[in-house]
């Protein structure tokens, strides 16, 4: 128990080591490269990291094929690294024994999505137990109480099949392994426990079901060299595999808190669809996965042992009271003090409320008067706006009459034979007159905009002629500044367009005017580019 408490207290230090292991191991597993985020599946390496990768890497490859746009990698974890890995958020899914899951669910909100279907002997099972065993030649050990005064080895204090199941049986049979055993040692893997018992380093040990059978199948041990204490709960029924303790739900695959529900659902579906005879299932020595089982028996085991999330079960201290109800005590005390203070000032507030009611009534009367004044001002403003719009419309109509005369006179003069220089002057007069007429139209348009009746005049016009009128306005001005004024038209630009040439000319005139104004050296280029077959041409100055 002391070692278990020290391990929990040292979780922060272990998490630092876990970070280093995970970040070094993650990119190397399953060929995962540096590009993109790899979905990390932390797996409890009960038989060592190398064996863990051999057994579970095909599952990661299977998920990579089944879940679109995601890559999965296996990260082997020791018993001490599982909790820090989930706490630090460096793994996205966790596959560990059921006791680990119960604690991770309680502390870090892990959520199971599937339960492993384990292939054992010639059948498929979703529950497993623990095996308490010794060497067959140790005839002095044939039942649990024979272990008192003997040396004993288990996998880890957090291993369900490799310790907690057996510990529960010891406790229910009146044996305290931490005091009644000659020595109690823990190693990291099930294999090492088996080898330690075989080599006589300890008198007895415990591992999870199927460990002895697996090592025998691999040729590493001979089952005839070991004696397994018979099943302690025959009411659960006989099993074709070696088992001493009760059986509990098998390992769950669980998502951690930061993993999205959508990704967890996709992974769960892929696991449930895993073929029992596929390469992934065969490598993991399983027959696929099933829906999550009920892990209440594991909760019951941990409650009896008072470990994991139940290590302080039944203990109540003043610190616990403050921790659980301290905020309520604080709020109750604060509420009482506030109530007393309110009682002292309540009479003053009543007097202030009466005075405020009188003042509020006066303010309401003033507000109503201001509202009436604002309504009157609004009506006057609307009348003034309407009068302004009528004035602008009348003025623009009056100015357009002489401007039409100027334009007509310029057109007549251009129809006569005159010198090129005079013709250029006449063109400038005509273009300027059109521009001035555009300004007049703008004034008229302003009144139309206010009236909500503004519209564009769509007609066919030649783009070249419109560009010429713009360029003629700035020839003399650019010459005076000593800069160039160039026109560049894309050959693919249509020669004729449908639109409002006057508005377009006005826009280009403003653009070129600003460009010439702020250009002191070099030149100004007016570009016309056809951007797309289904879109109008793009015109701009730079």
Which residue ranges does the chain devote to CATH 3.30.565.10? 456-541
Is residue 537 pLDDT above 70, yes or no? no
What integer best gives the mean pLDDT of the chain? 84
Those residues with Cβ within 8 angstroms of residue 335's Cβ, 6 or more apart along the chain or in another chain: none
Residue 245 pLDDT class (50, 70, 90 cuts): very high
CATH of domain 2-126+250-310: 3.40.190.10
Looking at CATH, the fold of the domain delimited by 127-236 is given as D-Maltodextrin-Binding Protein; domain 2 (3.40.190)
- Collapsing DSSP to helix, strand or coil, 131 comes out as strand
Reply yes or no on whether the pLDDT at 164 is more than 50.
Answer: yes
Taking CA atoms, 12 is separated from 8, 42, 87, 158, 432, in Å, by 9, 18, 9, 17, 82
For the segment 141-165, the average pLDDT, to the nearest whole number, is 94
Cβ atoms 261, 91 nearer than 8 A: no
Q: What span, in angstroms and rounded, lies between the C-alpha atoms of 486 and 515?
A: 12
- Res 190: pLDDT: 93
- 37-93 pLDDT, tens digit each: 899 999 999 888 999 999 999 999 999 999 999 999 999 999 899 999 999 999 999
Rg, the chain, Cα only: 45
- The pLDDT value recorded for residue 475 is 82
Residue 147: per-residue pLDDT: 95
Tell me 465's DSSP state.
H
For the chain, give the percent of residues with pLDDT over 70: 86
Mean pLDDT for 234-255 is 92
Query: Phi then psi for 524, rounded to 5 degrees?
Result: -120, 130
34 vs 246, higher pLDDT: 246
pLDDT at 318 over 50: yes
Helix (H) or strand (E) holding 304: helix 296-305
- What is the share, in percent, of the chain residues with pLDDT greater than 90? 45
Average pLDDT over residues 337-362: 86
In our burial notation (b when 16+ CB lie closer than 10 A, e otherwise), range 99-113 reads bbbbbbbeebebbbb
Give the per-residue SS3 of 213-265.
Answer: HHHHHCCCCCHHHEEECCCCCHHHCCCCCCCCCCCEECCEEEECCCCCHHHHH
pLDDT band at residue 187 under the 50/70/90 scheme: confident
Q: Tokens standing for 263? A: 């990704």
Say if residue 363's pLDDT is above 70.
yes
Q: Which of 242, 400, 309, 300 is nearest to 100 (CA)?
A: 309
State the pLDDT at residue 11: 41
CATH 3.40.190.10 domain locations along the chain? 2-126+250-310, 127-236
**Domain 456-541 indexed as CATH 3.30.565.10:** yes
């Amino acid at each position: 128990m002391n070692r278990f408490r020290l391990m929990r207290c040292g979780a922060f230090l272990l998490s630092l080591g876990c970070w280093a292991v995970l970040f070094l191991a993650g990119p190397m597993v399953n060929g995962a490269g540096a590009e993109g985020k790899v979905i990390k599946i932390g797996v409890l390496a009960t038989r060592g990291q190398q064996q863990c990768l051999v057994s579970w890497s095909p599952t990661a490859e299977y998920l990579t094929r089944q879940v679109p746009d995601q890559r999965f990698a296996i990260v082997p974890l020791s018993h001490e690294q599982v909790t820090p890995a989930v706490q630090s958020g460096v793994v996205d899914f966790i596959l560990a024994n059921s006791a680990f899951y119960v604690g991770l669910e309680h502390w870090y909100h892990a959520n199971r999505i599937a339960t492993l279907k384990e292939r054992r002997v010639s059948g498929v099972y979703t529950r497993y137990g623990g095996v308490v065993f010794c060497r067959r030649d140790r005839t002095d050990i044939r039942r649990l109480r024979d272990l008192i005064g003997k040396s004993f080895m288990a996998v880890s204090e957090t291993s369900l099949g490799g310790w907690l199941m057996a510990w529960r049986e010891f406790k229910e049979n009146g044996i305290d392994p931490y005091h009644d055993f000659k020595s109690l040692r823990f190693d990291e893997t099930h294999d090492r426990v088996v080898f330690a018992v075989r080599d006589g380093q300890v008198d007895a040990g415990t591992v999870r079901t199927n460990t002895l059978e697996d090592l025998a199948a691999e040729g590493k041990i001979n089952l005839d060299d070991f004696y397994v204490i018979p099943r302690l709960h025959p009411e659960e029924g006989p099993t074709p595999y070696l088992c001493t303790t009760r059986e509990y739900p098998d390992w769950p695959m669980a998502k951690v808190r930061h993993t999205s529900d959508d990704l967890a659902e996709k992974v769960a579906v892929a696991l449930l669809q895993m073929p029992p005879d596929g390469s992934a299932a065969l490598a993991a020595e399983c027959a696929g996965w099933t829906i999550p089982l009920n892990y209440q028996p594991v909760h019951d085991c941990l409650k009896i042992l008072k470990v994991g999330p139940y290590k302080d079960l039944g203990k109540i201290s003043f610190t616990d009271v403050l921790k659980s109800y301290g905020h309520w005590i604080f709020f109750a005390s604060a509420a009482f003090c506030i109530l007393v203070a309110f009682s002292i000032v309540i009479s003053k507030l009543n007097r202030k409320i009466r005075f405020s009611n009188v003042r509020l009534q006066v303010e309401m009367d003033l507000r109503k008067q201001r509202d009436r004044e604002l309504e009157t001002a609004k009506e006057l403003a609307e009348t003034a706006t309407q009068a302004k719009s009528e004035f602008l419309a009348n003025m623009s109509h009056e100015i357009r009459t002489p401007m039409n005369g100027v334009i007509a006179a310029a057109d007549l003069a251009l129809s006569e034979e005159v010198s090129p220089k005079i013709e250029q002057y006449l063109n400038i007069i005509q273009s300027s007159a059109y521009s001035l007429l555009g300004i007049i139209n703008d004034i008229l348009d302003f009144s139309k905009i206010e009236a909500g009746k503004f519209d564009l005049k769509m007609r066919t016009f030649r783009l070249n002629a419109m560009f010429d009128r713009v360029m003629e306005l700035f020839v003399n001005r650019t010459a005076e500044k000593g800069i160039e004024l160039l026109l560049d038209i894309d050959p693919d630009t249509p020669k004729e367009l449908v639109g409002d040439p006057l508005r377009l000319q006005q826009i280009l005139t403003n653009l070129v005017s600003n460009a010439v104004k702020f250009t002191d050296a070099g030149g100004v280029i007016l570009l016309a580019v056809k951007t797309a077959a289904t879109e109008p041409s793009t015109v701009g100055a730079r």
